Amino acid sequence: MKNMLQKSTGLMVLSLIILFSISCEGPEGPTGPQGERGEAGAQGPPGPAAETTFAIFNFQTQQEGWFLDGEEGEEGFSVVYPASVPLINAEVTANGAVLAFAELFSGNGLGFWTPLPFSLNTGEDFSSHIGYFYSQHSTSNSNNFLLFTYDTDNLLPVFAGAEFRVRVVILYGEAGSRMNFDELKGISYEELEKILEAL
């Protein structure tokens, strides 16, 4: 009998434990009030330096800075404007990209920024073009950015001797970069600003 009483007591205790463990669930009450704010922790170590993804270099063309390239009237005649852009280095020429924009026609109140190269149909039988070349800057190659302009009639180009602002955007890249810089060439300055903001 004593053995049976011990078994009954054990079963009853086990039943109560099971009953309490499953019967404790009910509707959740409201969230309590927020506790007091704790003390600020110690300042962590400084993080790694941010990687620069782009740089902007501005310059103004001057009338006396333009040079003839070839003979007027001959095939391939153009006018060039050399400029020094030290930010274009070996890293940029190997893995990055260089975009350029010009503020044209600002003297007559129509100033607008346009990506280069830019073409303008200026006459019935000719058009005007302006573009650029670039290379790595060095002490032996300090004028590493070259604006060029030509008209299709091989006469003095419309943009020759013009004074306007130029904005050079240097995009730094690395091998295997997530950005395809070739896709960025020829986009507007506003579109480029949106891309740069997302970086």
Q: Average pLDDT of the chain?
A: 81
Report the pLDDT value the prediction gives residue 177, as an integer from 0 to 100.
52
Q: Closest Cα to residue 98, out of 173, 165, 48?
A: 173
- pLDDT above 90 covers a percentage of the chain that reads 41
Q: What is the DSSP string of the chain?
A: -HHHHHHHHHHHHHHHHHHHHHHT-----PPPPPPPPPPP-PPPPP-PPPPP-EEEEEEE--GGG-EEES-TTSTT-EEEEEE--TT--HHHHHH-EEEEEEEESGGGT--EEEESSEEE--SSS--EEEEEEE----SS----EEEEEEETTSSS-TTTT---EEEEEEE---TT-SS-GGGGTT--HHHHHHHHHH-
pLDDT digits (tens, 9 = 90+) for 48-70: 765 668 899 999 999 999 999 99
Predicted confidence band of residue 118 (pLDDT cuts 50, 70, 90): very high
Tens of pLDDT, residues 119-147: 988 778 889 999 999 999 988 889 999 99
Residue (of 137, 133, 143, 132) closest to 82 by Cα position: 143
Q: Which one has a higher pLDDT value, 108 or 54?
A: 54
Looking at residue 75, its pLDDT comes to 92
pLDDT at 22: 59
76-90, 164-178, 183-197: the lowest-pLDDT one: 183-197
